[in-house]
Amino acid sequence: MSKIEIEVPSVSVIIPAYNEEAFLETTVSSVLNTNFPCEVIVVNDGSTDRTQEIIERFGGRIKAITHPKNKGKGAAMASGIREATGEIVVFCDAHLLGLKHHHLLSLVLPLVYGSAKAVLGIGIPEELSASLISFVPFFILTGQRAYYRKDIEPLTTEMEKLGYGVETYLFAKFPRDKTALVLLPGLIHLTKQDMLPKKAIVTGYLRETKEILGTIGKLAKKRIADSITNNRGV
């Protein structure tokens, strides 16, 4: 059997983290243990739990960025992009289980060997056949995604303002025919129910929903404004 060699550009894996003491160490360790060639950047977005202590345990194995106060997921992603040196940036949520080398490779390959400008990754059970999946709900909001840094860098200023609406914003910024959806068998994305007490779950989802709806509103207003401008120019 012949061996296939795959060459990819330099990669930076960015992990935004806000009060992620429960699973952050597992997630970061998983990325490092894959031996996937990349730099790992963890952004502590003003956490009030033991997140910073956990980040410091990794020492020089990762790059660490700390926001003195919570600025939102979009700002954490933007800070990671600005610190990144890789041609490709891969984003991973801080509460993942089962992350493997092939998951990171799956996120990168559509950029390198396809025509994609944006890649969205969806974790699915290993025993579930990809051929049975015709629709994955809420794939727009996945935290597992990849871009060329040169394509996403110009968006960082706007990303900083959007909080949890950042994924919706990024989905709108890249053409559908340049957005690839990849399935990541065996990758488990933990939900708020797995990590937080009930009161915190409600507060978290309310904030997330508000920021997503706010972003949708901003995008709709921009489309209307662009439409008016274009019609006046006709």
For residue range 64-76, list pLDDT tens digits in order: 999 999 999 999 9
Residue 205 lies in a domain: no
Rg (CA), the chain: 18
pLDDT at 230: 59
CATH of the domain at 56: 3.90.550.10
Q: What is the per-residue pLDDT across 107-156, written as a single tens digit (0 to 9) for each?
A: 999 999 999 999 999 988 776 555 445 445 557 889 999 999 999 999 99
The verdict on residue 68 lying in a domain is yes
Q: In what order do the strands lie in the sheet with 179-185?
A: 63-67, 39-45, 11-17, 88-91, 144-148, 118-124, 179-185
Give CA–CA dist 40/25, Å, rounded: 13
Number of domains in the chain: 1
Q: What is the mean pLDDT of the chain?
A: 86
At 134 the pLDDT is 47
DSSP letters, 136-154, are -TTGGG-SEEEEEHHHHGG
| pLDDT score for 31 | 97
pLDDT given for residue 232 in this prediction: 59
Please state the separation of Cα 141 from the chain's center in Å.
9
What average pLDDT does this structure show over 38-47? Answer: 98
Structure confidence at residue 92 (pLDDT)? 97
Query: Is 79 inside any structural domain?
Result: yes
Question: Which residue range forms the structural domain that includes residue 162?
Answer: 11-191
Question: Is position 5 within any domain?
Answer: no
Following DSSP, what letter does each residue of 78-101 receive, concatenated?
Answer: HHHHHH--SSEEEE--SSEES--H
